Amino acid sequence: MRKGLHVAIIMDGNGRWATWRGLPRMAGHRAGVAAVRRVVEHAPALGIRWLTLYAFSSDNWRRPADEVESIFWLMRAYLRLETGRLRQHGARLEIIGRRDRLPNLLLREIGHAENATAEGSRLHLRIAIDYSSRDTITRAVARATNALPPDQPPSADVLGRMLAQALTAESGEVDLLIRTGGEKRLSDFLLWESAYAELLFTDRMWPDFDATDLDAALAEFNRRERRFGGVPVATAHSVESAR
Ligand code: IPE
Ligand code: IPE
Ligand code: MG
Render pLDDT for 23-40 as a digit per residue (tens, 0 to 9): 999 999 999 999 999 999
For residue 95, is pLDDT > 60? yes
Cα 59 to ligand 2 centre (Å): 8
Distance CA 80, CA 83 (A): 6
Handedness of CA 55, 144, 123, 222 (dihedral sign): positive
pLDDT of 230:
96
- Whose CA is closest to 57, among 112, 7, 114, 12? 12
* Residue 49 pLDDT level (bands cut at 50, 70, 90): very high
Contact residues of ligand 1, CB 6 A cut-off? 11-16, 56, 60, 71, 181
Tell me which amino acid residue 60 is: N
Whole-prediction pTM value?
0.95
User: Active-site residues: which are they?
Assistant: 12, 60
Q: Which residues line ligand 2 (CB under 6 A)?
A: 10-12, 54-57, 60, 183, 185, 187
- For residue 80, the model assigns a pLDDT of 97
Collapsed DSSP state (helix, strand, coil) of residue 99:
coil
Mean model confidence pLDDT for the chain: 94
**Best mutation site among 9, 10, 11, 12 for ligand 1, i.e. most ligand atoms within 8 A of its Cβ?**
12
Query: How confident is the model over 173-224, as pLDDT tens digits?
Result: 999 999 999 999 999 999 999 999 999 999 999 999 999 999 999 999 999 9
CA of residue 214 to ligand 1 center, whole Å:
19
pLDDT at 47 (0 to 100): 97
Please tell me whether residue 62 adopts helix, strand or coil conformation: helix
Q: Name which residue sits closest to atom 11 of ligand 2, judged by CA.
A: 187
Nearest CA residue ID for atom 1, ligand 2: 187
Q: What is the DSSP track for 80-128? A: HHHHHHHHHTTEEEEEES--TTS-HHHHHHHHHHHHHTTT--SEEEEEE
pLDDT at 163: 86
Whether pLDDT at 135 is above 60: yes
- Sheet with 5-10, strands from edge to edge, namely 91-96, 123-131, 48-57, 5-10, 176-179, 198-201
Using CA positions, which residue lies closest to atom 5 of ligand 1? 56
| Minimum-distance ligand 2 atom for the alpha carbon of 185 | 14
At residue 49's C-alpha, the angle toward residues 127 and 53, to 5°, is 20
Phi, psi dihedrals of residue 164, rounded to the nearest 5°: -60, -40
CB 97 within 8 A of CB 151: no
